[in-house]
Structures are given as structure tokens and as C-alpha cells.
Amino acid sequence: MSRCLSERTLVRLIAGNGRENQRAHLAACDRCDARYRAIGRDLDRVTDVLLHTEPPRRSPSLLPRYWVPVTAAAVAGIALLVWVEITVWRAVTPAPSEEVTAFLSDISATMFSARDALAAGDDSGPGALSDGGGAGGCSSDPLGILGCESDTANEQAR
């Protein structure tokens, strides 16, 4: 005799499926026949429950019915935004490369040194550049922006 039938095959036979040799085994094997009948008894109990008992009560919803879909939609919207931020936005925005970072720090260093230099020039006296009759000229132009012509002109005017 062929091997005994699996539980799955027995259920399949109950549902009307299964092969001819499986049906033949079932007819010849007391053990499988007993298992087959046990499944049938379980199903009888199921039908008995469905026909003669009350379905368990459902719990009433704690949330007002309209808030559930609204909340679900809001959560889904937020999740979508987060997803767009993580995947799409980051994909199209290149991360700063090392070269860019180095360039930015160079710019930064230059700007800070220039500011320091200007600050040092200011220490020579407030209004040194704007004071027309005062001691302007090269001494008040540490970066050489103004040149020294103003000194000469001042000399000639005197």
C-alpha cells in the first residue's frame, strides 16, 4: 500500500480534490480513514457553531468613525513626505564632495583673515580714511586699496 496521506491531502480530498490513487488509499487504510473522519467531525462542529451560536460581539470603535480614515490618511501623507525626503530628495541633491568642502574652508579662512586685517587697520584711529584734513594715506590703507596718491596730493595742497 502507498504511503499514508498528509493532513493537507486529507483536507484536499474533503474539498473534492485529490487524485484517484489517494482516494484508493483512503478507502483501504483504516488509519487515514480515521483521520479523514476526524477532520469531518471538526467541520461538523464548525457548521454547528456557525448555525447555532451567536457570533462574538465586536467592540465598538473607540474613535469616532470619521477620524479613523482621516488619521490614517494623515499618517500616510507624513510617511510619504518622509519617504520623498529620504529617497528622492537626497538622490537628486549631491552630497558635498571633499573638494567642495576644502574650497569652502579656504574661502572661509581667507574671509576671516581679511576681516582680522581690517580690524587691525581700524585700530590706527577711527575716521582715518574719512577725515579729509587729517593724517590719511598709506598708513590708513593696510591692504593697499587706496594707494599712496592721496598723501602726495595732500602734500601738494599744503
Partner 1 sequence: MEGGPSYDDLFDAHARRLQRLCRLLLSDREEAEEVVQEVFLKLHKAQDQGAAPTSWGAWLTRVAVNLCHDRRRAGWWPRWRFRTDRIEDVGLVAREPNPEEAAIGEETLRRIWTAFRRLSDRQREVFVLRHLEGWTTEEVATALGLRTGSVKSHLFRAVRELRAAAGRSFR
Residues making contact with partner 1 (CB under 8 A): 8, 11-12, 14-17, 39, 41-43, 45-58, 60-61, 64-65, 68
Please identify which residue in 10, 13, 32, 129 interacts with Zn ion, judged by CB under 5 A: 32
Residue 98, Cα to own-chain centre: how many angstroms? Answer: 25
Interaction mask 69-88, Zn ion, x per CB under 5 A: --------------------
Angle at 107 between CA 102 and CA 109, to 5 degrees: 90
Cell 590708513 locates to 140
As to burial, measured by CB atoms within 10 angstroms (0-12 exposed, 13-18 middle, 19+ buried), residue 33 is middle
What is the spatial distance between Cα 13 and Cα 4, in angstroms, rounded to a whole number?
A: 13
Where does this chain touch Zn ion (CB under 5 A) — which range of 28-36, 38-46, 74-82, 132-140? 28-36
Residue closer to Zn ion by CB (options 5, 129) is 5
Interaction mask 1-20, Zn ion, x per CB under 5 A: ---x----------------
Q: 66 φ, ψ to 5°?
A: -80, -20
Give the nearest distance from C-beta 24 to partner 1 in angstroms. 19
CA atoms within 13 A on the CB side of 108: 6
Q: Which residues bind Zn ion (CB under 5 A)?
A: 4, 29, 31-32
